[in-house]
Structure 1
Amino acid sequence: MCNWFISGCRPLIFLDGTDIKNKYKGNILVAIAKDDNDDLFTLAYAVLDSENDDNWGWFCFHLKGVLVSHQCMVMRRYPLHNKKHWSSIFKKVVYAPSKQEFEEHINNIITSMPLAREFIVNSCPQSWANAWFPGKCWGVINNNMAECWNNWVKPARYLPIVAMVDHICIQIMEMMHERREATMVMIKKLSPSKENFLAKTYAQYRSLKVRKASGLSFEVVDGDKSFVVDLSAMTCSCRG
């Protein structure tokens, strides 16, 4: 599973826990990833007596042990305090891909809320803001992928523990088989979701001006902003 994760998924991990609904109770802790078609990929899960710091520590310790030998990526955690309230206020700040845009939105907010900047600094923006996140997150801010997994295994959560684990294993096996069969008939280079995204993006940004710098490096001008695109390194200074 880890080799498939490294070769076919984005280096992002979503962590979540969900209640077991049978008479024995307990929790399922899970680590989820996104594959190249934006579908969920089950990386690891564990059945434990409860969701607490000790059990999460045990789960993450073993998860990290598996990933370290495969160039483990940056783990991203999501702040829980006043999450709904602040996400509505700082949505543009959170999703800003560059530090320049981040500061622009912050300056607009602190005009009416002077204490906003202090709050942002004290709440570790590198943990929740695109512009300050040390790794690559492709605009992913929420933990919805893990919530999808919880709903996906919902029928299994009512079964006895052994049957529950077997049921989830079968679900994963069937999902992997269906996706393997689907990839055999693909004729394009990218996955279906990315082909559609590329077509929409191409139509949307045809008006941008492009200037060649050197080799495979280009300057892309968008209004009063410009960014550097390096096709050899597959990077853009906009971080979008």
Structure 2
Amino acid sequence: MAKESAYKEVRGSPDGSYAKLPMYCHILEKNNLGTLTFIETDNDGHFMYFFMALGPSIRGFLSSIRRVICVDGTFLKSKYRGTLLVATCQDANRQIYPLAWGIVDSENNDSWTWFFQKLRQITDDTDELVFISDRATSISNGFNSVYLNAHHGHCIWHLQTNLKSKFPRIDIVPLFRATAQAYSLAKFEINMQALCSLHEKIREYLEEEVGVEYWSRAHFNGIRYNIMTTNNAESLNSLLRSAREFSILALIEYIREKMQSWFHDRRIDAEKCTSYLTPLMEEKMYDRYNESKGFEVKALSPDEMQVSDKMKSFIVNLERGTCTCKEFDLDQFPCAHAIAVVRDVGDNCYRFCSPFYSTSYWKQAYSEYIYPLSNEVDWEIPDSVRSRKVIRPLTRRGSGRPPKKRKQSAGEVCKSRKCSRCLKTGHNRITCTDRVPLNERHE
């Protein structure tokens, strides 16, 4: 009770936060043009769902971000519990780019469907759009009811934990990741055969129960680039670990402040960059350029070239942006074989990179500012907004202390620390309380 009383003084009353939510959203939309906020209540005014996407983030996504969105949810630890939903992407430098946020009662069909309906007002529904998530049924049901043309893929990290749980005595992870990340169908089949040889039921699970088109990059119907997991969304959830205890208004403001800071810092980093590609992609181009030096290039036709390594050969078509290794096709970034052809014909490698990797797109994504809200005493609120009634949700936290840590998935193992001094687990050398060995006393 004392802790909650202190929180109330610093971050506001949990009940009062819901009442102020419409006014907060009005000022937020006024100060950041193009911002979308939605508050869903039941017939009695009890809070159900909340959605927020900041205007600068929306415009940055539409102009400069690859159309791959990771979605995930994590539980809240405030008085009235709930679940935080997040939709995030990657910018040109492969950094996390938050797009939209939601607060709902729990991860269920209705909440995810509502969230996707609001998200569709930003993303539309095109064949280029890809969503990556875990295998939660509620996410799949919500996605399928809203998006008809976009593609849905599964996070291979979550899938590998399921495999470890189903086949615990097999070292399955390295082969599974190699199979999932394979670019070409030929490479996939080689890895898949080796993977399925470990246990007779692996193929049945991955092909029939899960569906190979959801987790294999080679079989995926859309283009998911390098994004094979939901790590971007998971990282955001981890960043907000402490803020998930806040009242709803304090949590939303914490998120807005974080995004304001990210946009500012990354805008400065992008402005300092003078290369055509972003720093991370420039380094990748450098590595592949060096790799291409040992390749032999032969002309096949006016459009196609054969690139030979010591053991294999590949066919590259620069104008179509294709290579039989499929890296050029699926990453939209020149593979080492394509770079060898570019060097041979005397062209420019940058011409064949997707603009989504360029510094200009990186700058454009963070070109706008996210503004704070003015002091509450200065808010000018219309009567229509002020009169809207939003009451705390009907659900609330149960008795006892709420859980602070996420429950581990089946097959997920938490690595414990090992002391380098006594070789026991659960602590490190600094906190070790065992008696110091004699040979260590004389050092």
Show the counterpart of 1:83. 162
Match of 2:183 in 1: 97
Decide whether the 8 Å contact of 1:78 with 1:127 is kept in 2: no
Query: What is the rounded CA distance, in whole Å, between the counterparts of 1:43 and 1:113 in structure 2?
Result: 41
| Paired residues of 2:214 and 2:220 also in contact (CA < 8 A) | yes
1:170 aligns with 2:257: yes
Question: For residues 125 and 224 of structure 2, what CA distance do their matches in structure 1 show?
Answer: 21
CA pair 71-97 structure 1, distance change in 2 beyond 3 A: closer
Distance in 2 separating the partners of 1:180 and 1:35: 12
- Find the aligned partners of 2:126 and 2:213 in 1 and give their Cα distance: 24
Cα drift, residue 83 of structure 1: 2.6
How far is 1:223 from its partner? 4.1
Moved more, 63-72 or 128-137: 63-72
Report what 1:13 is aligned to.
69
The alignment-based identity, stated in percent, is: 28
Q: Secondary structure at the match of 1:13?
A: strand
Q: Do 1:15 and 1:31's aligned partners in 2 also have CA atoms closer than 8 Å?
A: yes
Question: Structure 1: where are the runs of 5+ without partners?
Answer: none
- CA separation in 1, counterparts of 2:61 and 2:305? 31
* Contact kept in structure 2, 1:94 and 1:128, CA below 8 Å: yes
Counterpart secondary structure, 2:252: helix
Q: How far did 1:24 drift?
A: 2.2
2:239 to 152, 159, 165: 152
2:321 to 212, 234, 237: 234
The partner residue of 2:87 within 19, 27, 31 is: 31
Q: Report the counterpart of residue 296 of structure 2 in structure 1.
A: 209
Moved more, 51-60 or 200-209: 200-209
Q: Residue 130 of structure 1: CA displacement?
A: 0.9
Structure 2: distance between partners of 1:112 and 1:155: 42
Three-state SS of the structure 2 residue aligned to 1:193 is helix
SS in 2 for 1:167: helix
Distance 1:92 1:28 in 2: 32
- DSSP 3-state at the match of 1:154: coil
Give the direction of change, closer, same or farther, for the CA distance of 1:110–1:48 in structure 2 (3 Å limit): closer
Deviation beyond 4 Å, 4+ runs, structure 1: 69-72, 213-217
For residues 123-134 of structure 1, the aligned pairs below 5 Å read 123-134=210-221
2:303 and 2:92 mapped to 1: Cα distance? 24
CA 1:192–1:15 in structure 2 vs 1: closer, same or farther (change >3 Å)?
same
Distance 1:78 1:174 in 2: 29
| Higher RCO (Cα < 8 Å, 6 or more apart) | 2
Partners of 2:270 and 2:291 in 1: CA distance: 28
**8 Å contact from structure 1 (residues 64, 72) kept in 2:** no
Maintained 8 Å contact 2:69/2:87: yes
Query: Are 2:108 and 1:44 equivalent residues in the alignment?
Result: no
Q: Secondary structure of the equivalent of 1:188? A: coil
Normalized against structure 2, the TM-score is what? 0.50
Equivalent position amino acid for 2:207 in 1: V
Change (3 A) 1:109 1:18: closer
Contact 1:78 1:128 in 2 (8 A): no
1:214, CA displacement in angstroms?
Answer: 4.8
**SS class of match (1:75):** strand
What's the RMSD between the two structures over aligned residues?
2.4
**Contact 2:132–2:230 under 8 Å retained in 1:** no
Change beyond 3 A, Cα 1:72–1:155: farther
CA distance 1:164–1:115, change in 2 (3 Å):
closer
Give per-residue Cα distances to partners, 1:97-140, cap 9 Å, x unaligned: 11111111222334454444333321211100111011112243
For 1:91 and 1:162, the matched residues in 2 are separated by: 41
| Distance in 2 separating the partners of 1:77 and 1:7 | 23
Deviations 1:46-92 (A, max 9, x none): 11122222211211222123211777513334445653527615222
Residues 69-78 or 177-186, more deviating: 69-78
Pair member with larger Rg: 2
Deviations 1:22-67 (A, max 9, x none): 2221111000101111100001111112222221121122212321
- Give the partner amino acid of 1:53: N
Change (3 A) 1:230 1:103: same
TM-score normalised per structure 1: 0.87
Contact 1:6 1:70 in 2 (8 A): no
Mark the runs of 5 or more structure 2 residues left unpaired by the alignment: 1-56, 136-157, 328-443
